[in-house]
Amino acid sequence: MISCFSLKTWPTLLIAVAMIVSYAPRASSHPVYTSLTTIEWNSADNSLEIILEIQAHELADALQKTTGTTLQGKRRKSPTDRSGPISNLIDKNIGLKIAGTLVSPVFIGSETVGSNVFVYLEADWPVAPSSITFLNTLFLDTQRGQINSVIVKVGGKRQAAEVTKTTGAITFVFD
């Protein structure tokens, strides 16, 4: 058998590979932080339905740092009460324009499913939007490498993009 390495070079090669592997950055030393937002125009009730999917431990850390509350926090007094810690955090980090008009979505509620928290928002809009501009700044300043993915569905058309620290708001145009 012909080999490019002799028996004498194998130990040296193995030591070199071991050194490279031991000094290479670990996958755990650069975690990936993501959130997913789905925005869908509901033609049956003329509204935009917005669902944010966030890692529970990231949301819990943010709530603890910004409000001193836990993920459970205090309960809202009514469905329209926007004074809860999760809704306050969302209000400070979400921007929405529909067809160029600034809109404040209504916080419907949130639930924890496994290791994720789902936050539900809604905004009334009478017709299928021609454009949606969305910004989600959650964790962009606190989690290195945070990516906030956005999927928008209007009239059977689907578009997606990612909001990062450098992108700013993303505009989706529907014809």
- Say how many residues make up the chain: 175
CB 160 within 8 A of CB 150: yes
Q: What is the pLDDT of residue 27?
A: 47
pLDDT at 141: 82
Kindly state the tokens that stand for 70: 């836990």
pLDDT of residue 16: 52
149 inside domain:
yes
pLDDT per position as a tens digit, 5-45: 455 555 555 555 555 555 555 444 546 678 899 999 999 99
- Pairing outcome for strands 147-154 and 34-42: parallel
Q: Is residue 26 one of the residues assigned to a domain?
A: no
**14 within domain boundaries:** no
Give the H/E segment covering residue 159.
strand 157-163
Phi, psi of 20 (to 5 degrees): -65, -45
User: What ranges in 7-125 are assigned the alpha helix state H?
Assistant: 10-23, 56-67, 85-93
Residue 7 lies in a domain: no
Mean pLDDT of 46-52: 96
pLDDT digits 0-9 by tens, 107-152: 999 998 998 999 999 999 999 999 999 999 888 888 788 889 999 9
Is residue 133 domain-resident?
yes
pLDDT of residue 79: 47
> pTM of this prediction?
0.75
Can you tell me the distance from the alpha carbon of 86 to that of 56, in angstroms, rounded to the nearest whole number?
12
Cα gap 62→174, rounded to integer Å: 34
> The tokens 């459970």 sit on which residue?
72
Residue 25 or 153, more confident = 153
Q: How many domains in the chain?
A: 1
DSSP H helices, 24-162, are: 56-67, 85-93
In the predicted model, is pLDDT for residue 3 greater than 80? no
> What digits encode the pLDDT tens for the residues 51-109?
999 988 888 888 887 777 766 644 444 444 455 888 888 899 999 999 999 999 999 99
> Does residue 18 fall inside a structural domain?
no
> Does some domain include residue 148?
yes
- Residue 128 sits in which domain range? 31-173
